[in-house]
Amino acid sequence: MAVNREYKATLFTELFSEPGKLRELYNALADTDYGEEIPIEINTLENVFFVDLRNDISFTIDNKHVVLLEHQSTINANMPLRCLLYIARLFEKITDERAIYHEKLLGLPTPEFIVLYNGVNPFPAEKTLKLSDAYKGTEKSIDKFRNLELTVRVVNINPGYNNNLLKKCKTLNGYSSFIERVRSNQKRGNNLQDAMKEAISWGMSQDVLSAFFIEHGTEIRNMIQGTKFNINIAKEVWQEEAREDAIEEFQAVLAEKDAEIADKDIEIADNIAEIANKEAEIVEKDTEIARLEALVAQLQSQN
């Protein structure tokens, strides 16, 4: 089976799916020293609802910065426009819909747009992409007329570029080294599947992402085998699971109601038995009274 050719993006997203890893990466990129006490909230828009607009990772750190993080092997010149559309939806998600009608200024986390590039085509260590570069009315200066601007920071994470950044973030350095190892194996004539297998063995022996490989063994095997996420199949599975959960919940409620009914039946039976006993006692009392009345009548007749 063919290896999933989107393995780089898949691996990147999995590696940085934890707040601790994102904090480490952000500290390296922004030259900050946020500790574990600083909260990170991952708020990537789910592809189930936004299938037309994908983003690798977005997160808010310290409730002050919202970071849109992309991994790319090929630079997309339209990334600023994509980020604009994405941040609009993200702000809509994290903002109270009634807040925009308040007269008081609404505080928003500062957006930061970062692309981590590790393609094979030559690219500088760092470059800025601007939304204004796409504007047709170039005769009007954006500085003069204050038109809408959005900038995307593109950082080359291939070995030999931004070494200080890679040293500050062990996870990113490991990712960069692993991808480079896969490429080197391919250059020696290995297919992608064998190249990845060798790179994983190398990483395990050299302590390069070894903890990740151990923890995510099943996902990695699926990735090597070419298993891809199929949204249609996923929806079917989710619907089946929802139906199964609903049936199990209904059966549990039904069993509970049956138990309640059984308890009520027992209680009613006990009450009926008690009534029957009372009626038997009354009959017995009536019989005794009748006997006594007969005896009194007999005595009266003798007198």
pLDDT at 232 over 70: no
User: What pLDDT, in 10s, does the model give residues 154-180?
Assistant: 999 998 899 999 999 999 999 999 999
- Of the listed ranges 31-35, 36-40, 134-138, 261-265, the least confidently predicted one is 134-138
The pLDDT-based confidence of 48 (bands split at 50, 70, 90) is: very low
Q: How many domains does the chain have?
A: 2
- The tokens for 133 are 């570069």
**Are 121 and 211 in the same domain?**
yes
Neighbours of 190 (CB within 10 A): 16
Residue 127 lies in a domain: yes
| Domain housing 245 | 233-303
Higher pLDDT among residues 17 and 240, named by residue: 17
User: Do 210 and 261 fall within a single domain?
Assistant: no
Structure tokens at 136: 């047709």
Using an 8 Å Cβ cutoff, are 82 and 45 in contact? no
| pLDDT tens sequence across 69-121 | 888 888 888 999 999 988 988 888 888 777 778 888 888 889 999 999 998 88
Same domain, 97 and 212: yes
Instruction: State how far the Cα of 282 lies from the Cα of 208, in Å rounded to an integer.
Output: 91
What integer pLDDT is reported at residue 231 of this predicted model? 47
Paired tokens of 169: 């973030």
Q: How far is CA 206 from CA 44, 171, 180, 203, 291, in A?
A: 32, 14, 14, 5, 106
At residue 127 the predicted structure's pLDDT band, cuts being 50, 70 and 90, is very high
Q: Is residue 217 part of a domain?
A: yes
Give every CB contact of residue 144 below 8 A, 6+ residues apart in sequence. none
- Give the residue from 210, 229, 248 where a domain finishes: 229
- Give the pLDDT confidence of 196-220 residue by residue, as tens digits: 888 888 988 888 888 888 887 666 7
Q: Is residue 2 part of a domain?
A: no
pTM: predicted TM-score of the whole model, two decimal places: 0.67
